A = this chain, B = another copy of it.
Amino acid sequence: MITALAGGVGAARFLQGLTCVVPEDEITVIVNTGDDIELYGLHISPDLDIVMYTLADIVDVERGWGIRGDTFNCLDMLRRYRHKTWFKLGDRDLATHIYRTQLLKSGRPLSEATEGLCQRLDLKLRILPMTNDRFETKVATDAGTMHFQEYLVKRGAQDMVMGVIFEGEREARPAPGVIDSILNTDAVIICPSNPIVSIGTILSVKNIRSTLKETEAKVIGISPIVGGSPVKGPADKLMRGLGLEVSAYAVAALYQDFLDAFVIDRMDEAERKRIEKLGLHVVITNTLMKSIQDKVRLAKVVLGLVG
């Protein structure tokens, strides 16, 4: 059994490789919901959707989000109504949000809504939101404090980051299955996702970090920082804003209390010694995932560490 902690695009790419090596029904993915936002009266879960769409092989690979070949006619008409349309929603994508929102309104928790969506997309692996409770990642910037999606999508990650706030951090409990899937597994993989607003959010949910320290499973991280910058997304800006160095080492340092091994890219070979001094086993390989072959190869390297 394998459990993975995941954000959006980077995690989804890695998981695609993993499902080529491990039977889908032996995989549990715990996904960040700090990016979730209510827009257009709909509950949108960007990271859950990217992971689901990628594994169902319907993701728009070019854009990195949404559904391949989708149209944007509803958004177009919303623009005519002068509705705010900074968050892009495809017409097919909308169906996901409509379906999820209806399940939530009928009193079902997010984990059940996610299970329903996965089933209907014929996914065999288990995708769990980190929490069913309200959790909202906000970014404090020189232009004010705003929802993470507003910082990232609406304002293009251009504002100077001064801090990150996890609203709900104290109250949010892990979704059913989360703690159990960390304890009863052969390995926990920390996907190459943003260490602050993807993995950091998951770690902030009650008992998750302490369970990662407790578990007898091997905990293996993959660095999202390659050659001193993130492969995708604003991790560099957020890390710098929190006074952190933007390096594989800095990510390892954030995870050192629960990590057994850390996989870094060849480009960051020079950091091996510093990371080893944190008490971690370091594995160096090519971590950039462009082709499906890259993804499968990386998955095999990581699984090789489980023993």
A interface residues (Cβ-Cβ under 8 A, vs B): 40-42, 67, 70-71, 73-78, 80-83, 90-96, 98-99, 101-102, 105, 116-117, 120-121
Contact = CB atoms under 8 A, between A and B. Distances in A.
Contacts of A76: 92, 95
Given A71-B73, A74-B92, A74-B95, A81 B117 contact: yes
A90 B77 CA distance: 11
Contacts of A40: 98, 102
Nearest to A100: B81
B83 A95 contact: yes
A174 to B, nearest CB: 26
Q: By DSSP majority rule, is chain A's interface helix, strand, loop, or mixed?
A: helix
Contacts of A95: 74-78, 80-81, 83
Copies in the complex: 2
Contact of A92 (B73, B105, B120): B73
Given A81-B95, A95-B78, A101-B41, A70 B73 contact: yes
A95 B89 CA distance: 11
18 contacts: A40-B98, A40-B102, A41-B41, A41-B42, A41-B98, A42-B98, A67-B77, A71-B71, A71-B73, A73-B92, A74-B74, A76-B95, A77-B91, A77-B92, A78-B98, A78-B99, A91-B91, A91-B94
